């Protein structure tokens, strides 16, 4: 998925984007100690990767946290968000690598808990690791906003419930507060296909083997049938299929653990699964961005949450499906810029459509 959102960069080359002057920051790391997980297990000596852009103002009320998507890293966010979606002349942007992305503690980089001995973690555990990094390592106790795309949007929704007073605004982009049966079918299907493939060797593989069934299933869901029919000529299919079947450049055990985290997502878990009940715990203002033709993260729960919270809803309508934030980046960028502005007023039950 990391390469997919580079569509944002491509579109920025041909459409007006924020012309911020920002300095590329180096990958940074911080140890947050042993991290107890919801499962009862512990990530030993948990390390968090992060990058920062811009600088905090005197009041320190311009800090924006942006979270990584499934299989994405802070480097991917740097290429598609820093200075583009988020104006780093105006905001101090902190991008944190999610657990299991190969930068922060993961099955692929842990020496004490390698491969599938690395414990199963949840979206809530991701949020807790980020909270520790911000408060204990960076000395930050309040944020202007939190945002993220896809799994980053899932983490954003979880932040709204776990630490409702920690931020003023939240921007989940093609994310979900609670997965639908359609989402669960996709993610469980990928997980089962991976585990059944002999190349996976129950997580004890070498290098990055090809597991074509998972790669193709993932690629098939990330856009719509119309998108592929209109953008991939039959004459180019063989080449396209070979690329779709190849590994996506992301360690399979990391893929495994992040899949499990998304499969377990439900911000209303402690409220009997009721979005109505959990919505009453949320204090931040939300702008929720969905893609109506999203086949990878169904938009229905996020749309329902927007109604329950009387939050601004931005609806992306192209046939790009889950890729819509890239395909419709001018619309996305304008909405985010307006929402983050100090004078922004969030109207109730509002929806931005073409």
Q: Which residue is it, tokens 């004078």?
A: 343
pLDDT 10s digits, 14-58: 333 333 333 456 999 999 999 999 999 999 999 999 999 999 999
- The answer for residues whose C-beta is within 8 angstroms of residue 237's C-beta and 6 or more apart is none
Residue 41: half-sphere exposure toward Cβ, Cα within 13 Å: 12
Instruction: Report if residue 12 sits inside a domain.
Output: yes
Q: Which helix (H) or strand (E) holds 286?
A: strand 285-291
Q: Are 54 and 89 in contact (CB under 8 A)?
A: yes
| Start-to-end Cα distance in the chain | 26
- Check the CA dihedral 310-141-88-46 and report its sign: negative
CATH number at residue 347: 3.40.50.1820
Once rounded to an integer, what is the mean pLDDT over residues 200-206? Answer: 97
Q: Look at the chain and report how many structural domains it folds into.
A: 1
Tokens of 52: 């920062």
Output phi, psi for 310, to 5 deg: 55, 40
Instruction: Report if residue 269 sits inside a domain.
Output: yes
- The answer for residues whose C-beta is within 8 angstroms of residue 188's C-beta and 6 or more apart is 263
Instruction: Report if residue 286 sits inside a domain.
Output: yes
This prediction has a pTM of 0.91
pLDDT tier, 346 (very low <50, low <70, confident <90, very high otherwise) = very low
pLDDT 10s digits, 237-290: 999 999 999 988 999 999 999 999 999 999 999 999 999 999 999 999 999 999
Q: Specify the pLDDT at position 82.
A: 83
Instruction: Report if residue 11 sits inside a domain.
Output: yes
Report the C-alpha gap between 214 and 60 in whole angstroms.
44
Q: Specify the pLDDT at position 3.
A: 47
Under DSSP, is residue 230 helix (H, G, I), strand (E, B) or coil?
helix
Strand partners, 178: 266
Q: Are 254 and 106 in contact (CB under 8 A)?
A: yes
Instruction: Report if residue 221 sits inside a domain.
Output: no
Instruction: Report if residue 20 sits inside a domain.
Output: yes
Asked if residue 164 has pLDDT above 60, the reply is yes
Full residue range of the structural domain in which residue 143 is found:
4-183+259-352
For residue 191, CA distances in Å to 78, 108, 185, 211 come to 29, 17, 10, 11
Instruction: Report if residue 69 sits inside a domain.
Output: yes
């Amino acid at each position: 998925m990391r390469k997919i959102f580079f569509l944002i960069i491509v579109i920025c080359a041909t459409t007006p984007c924020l012309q911020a002057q920002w300095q590329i920051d180096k990958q940074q790391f911080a140890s947050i100690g042993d991290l107890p997980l919801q499962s009862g297990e512990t990530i030993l000596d948990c390390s968090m990767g992060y990058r920062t852009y811009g600088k905090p103002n005197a009041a320190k009320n311009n800090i924006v946290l942006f979270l990584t998507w499934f299989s994405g890293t802070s480097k991917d966010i740097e290429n598609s968000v820093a200075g583009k979606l988020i104006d780093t002349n105006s905001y101090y942007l902190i991008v944190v690598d999610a657990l299991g992305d190969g930068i922060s503690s993961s099955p692929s980089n842990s020496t004490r808990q390698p491969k599938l001995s690395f414990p199963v973690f949840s979206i809530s555990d991701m949020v807790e690791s980020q909270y520790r990094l911000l408060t204990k390592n960076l000395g930050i106790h309040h944020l202007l906003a939190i945002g993220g795309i896809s799994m980053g949007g899932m983490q954003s929704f979880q932040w709204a419930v776990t630490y409702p007073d920690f931020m003023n605004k939240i921007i989940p982009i093609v994310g979900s507060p609670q997965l639908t049966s359609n989402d669960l079918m996709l993610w469980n299907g990928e997980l089962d296909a991976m585990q059944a493939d002999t190349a996976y060797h129950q997580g004890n593989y070498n290098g990055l083997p090809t597991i074509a069934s998972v790669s193709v299933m993932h690629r098939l869901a990330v856009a719509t049938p119309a998108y592929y029919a209109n953008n991939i000529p039959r004459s180019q299919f063989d080449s396209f299929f070979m690329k779709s079947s190849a590994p996506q450049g992301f360690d399979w055990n990391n893929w495994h653990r992040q899949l499990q985290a998304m499969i377990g997502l439900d911000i209303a878990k402690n409220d009997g699964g009721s979005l109505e009940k959990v919505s009453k715990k949320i204090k931040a203002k939300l702008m929720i961005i969905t893609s109506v033709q999203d086949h990878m993260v169904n938009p229905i729960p996020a749309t329902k949450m927007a109604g329950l919270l009387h939050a601004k809803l931005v609806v992306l309508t192209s046939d790009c499906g889950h890729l819509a934030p890239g395909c419709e980046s001018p619309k996305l960028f304008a909405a985010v810029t307006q929402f983050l502005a100090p004078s922004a007023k969030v109207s109730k039950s509002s929806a931005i459509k073409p």
